[in-house]
Structure formats: structure tokens, C-alpha cells
């Protein structure tokens, strides 16, 4: 489940960090515009304003660059909600997924990264790690709800969070059904109903 990233977050670390920042921003732009098969390292270097040699030496392949981009996105993603009400927390999660997937740049970027994962093992591993990080972050909403007695003991927190975003990705990649707040709220409500019924234990 992708999350919006905090804008303007530039981490310290000197020239190396600035080069990585510029290259990953450029890689995201190129991916969103051209897809994974159009992710040319030379083009990324041109867009980033850095030397081709630097990009080829550090990343070496489109798959490695996509993998590093996913790692960076996971590190920058926003933290989960903490309303003290699992229904509101899951709804926030679903609405954030919808906002990200319907964003003109981010939606295309995630489609490209999913395509990359289907044909490149480095990208596939990075995508799995990305979702493991993000699901792990939001799983705390469910764990807290179990502790408050809102959900049955033994509820699998990661499974609940995955169930929130799964129908939204299905709509994005398969059915083409509208992705809006109503779709987000339905996805959150369905996951919550299943969790309350004990299906997610």
C-alpha cells in the first residue's frame, strides 16, 4: 500500500546524498512517463543533471535503480494514523492509498514499479520489502485495536491491512472501476467486518 511522501524532504549527507536524491527523483519521473521498459539510465542521468558514468557505476541496471527508488519511497512514507478508533484508522489508510494511486504522477509510477517487479527480480524483491515496511507500519492500528478489545484476540494485523488495499489495487490494475473515497471506505469497511467476524485470525 503506497503512501504519500512528505514533500521537500531532502536528507543530509553531502554530495553523494544529493546525487542520489536527484537521480531517484529523475528515475521516478521517467518511470511515470515512460514505464519500466522506458527506464534508460542515460536518460535518467540527463534528467537528473548528473554524469552517465555516475549512474551506471552506482546502479548499473534499471532493476537496481527501481529497487533503490522503492527503498527511498518506503523510508519517506508518512506514518500511520493514531485515532484510537480502528474504523477511522483503516479508513485513513484506504483513503491514502486511493489518493496515491489516483495522483497523476504517483499512480503511473506505481503501475510502472509493479510492471518492473513482474520482469526484474531485484525490483520484485524491493517491491515486497516496500509493502512489508508499509503494511508493518499500518499494522499497528490493528494491534492497538486488539489491545483495546475492538477486534478479536489473535487477529492477524498484517492480513487486515493487506485486505484494505487489495481491492483498491484490483480496481487499479484490472477492473478500472473508479478509485474514490467511496471505494476507499468500502474497502476499509469490508476488511474491518472480516476482522470483527474473526476471519483474519
Digit-coded pLDDT (tens) for 81-95:
899 999 999 999 999
Output the pLDDT for position 7.
Answer: 33
Least confident of 23-37, 63-77, 184-198: 63-77
Average pLDDT of 54-65?
A: 94
Give the total residue count for the chain. 201
Position with higher pLDDT, 78 vs 60: 60
pLDDT confidence band for 176 (50 / 70 / 90): confident
Question: Residue 110 pLDDT > 60, yes or no?
Answer: yes
pLDDT confidence band for 147 (50 / 70 / 90): very high
Whole-angstrom Cα distance, residue 142 to residue 161?
A: 8
| N-terminal to C-terminal alpha carbon distance within the chain | 21
Whole-angstrom Cα distance, residue 3 to residue 109?
A: 12
Question: Residue 6 pLDDT > 70, yes or no?
Answer: no
> Could you tell me where the beta strands, DSSP code E, fall in the chain?
none
pLDDT confidence band for 77 (50 / 70 / 90): confident
pLDDT confidence band for 5 (50 / 70 / 90): very low
Greatest C-alpha distance within the chain:
57
Q: What is the mean pLDDT of the chain?
A: 91
Whole-angstrom Cα distance, residue 15 to residue 59?
A: 16
Average pLDDT of 47-74?
A: 94
Smallest CA-to-CA distance from 62 within 76, 43, 75 is with: 43
Query: Which residues lie across from 5 on neighbouring strands?
Result: 77
Whole-angstrom Cα distance, residue 26 to residue 9?
A: 15
Calculate the alpha carbon distances from 99 to 2, 32, 169, 180, 197 in Å: 9, 16, 12, 8, 28
Whole-angstrom Cα distance, residue 97 to residue 101?
A: 6
DSSP state, residue 175: I
Output the pLDDT for position 2.
Answer: 55
What pTM, to 2 d.p., does this model score?
0.84
Domains, the chain: 14-73 (1.10.10.60), 80-196 (1.10.357.10)
Distance of CA 199 to the CA centre of its chain: 25
pLDDT confidence band for 14 (50 / 70 / 90): confident
What confidence tens digit (pLDDT) does each residue in 112-131 have? 999 999 999 999 999 999 99
pLDDT confidence band for 9 (50 / 70 / 90): very low
Amino acid at each position: 500500500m503506497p503512501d504519500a511522501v512528505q514533500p521537500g524532504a531532502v536528507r543530509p549527507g553531502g554530495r553523494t546524498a544529493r546525487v542520489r536524491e536527484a537521480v531517484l527523483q529523475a528515475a521516478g519521473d521517467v518511470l511515470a512517463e515512460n514505464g519500466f521498459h522506458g527506464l534508460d539510465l542515460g536518460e535518467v542521468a540527463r534528467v537528473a543533471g548528473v554524469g552517465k558514468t555516475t549512474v551506471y557505476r552506482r546502479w548499473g541496471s534499471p532493476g537496481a535503480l527501481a529497487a533503490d527508488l522503492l527503498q527511498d519511497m518506503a523510508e519517506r512514507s508518512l506514518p500511520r494514523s493514531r485515532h484510537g478508533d480502528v474504523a477511522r484508522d483503516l479508513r485513513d489508510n484506504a483513503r491514502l492509498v486511493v489518493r496515491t494511486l489516483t495522483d497523476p504522477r504517483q499512480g503511473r509510477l506505481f503501475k510502472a514499479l509493479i510492471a518492473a517487479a513482474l520482469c526484474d527480480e531485484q525490483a520484485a524483491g524491493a517491491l515486497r520489502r516496500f509493502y512489508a515496511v508499509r503494511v508493518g507500519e499500518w499494522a499497528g492500528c490493528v494491534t492497538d485495536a486488539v489491545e483495546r478489545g475492538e477486534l478479536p484476540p489473535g487477529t492477524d494485523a498484517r492480513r487486515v491491512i493487506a485486505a484494505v488495499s487489495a481491492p483498491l489495487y484490483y480496481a487499479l490494475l484490472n477492473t478500472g472501476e473508479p478509485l474514490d473515497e467511496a471505494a476507499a471506505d468500502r474497502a476499509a469497511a469490508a476488511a474491518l467486518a472480516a476482522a470483527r467476524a474473526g476471519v483474519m485470525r
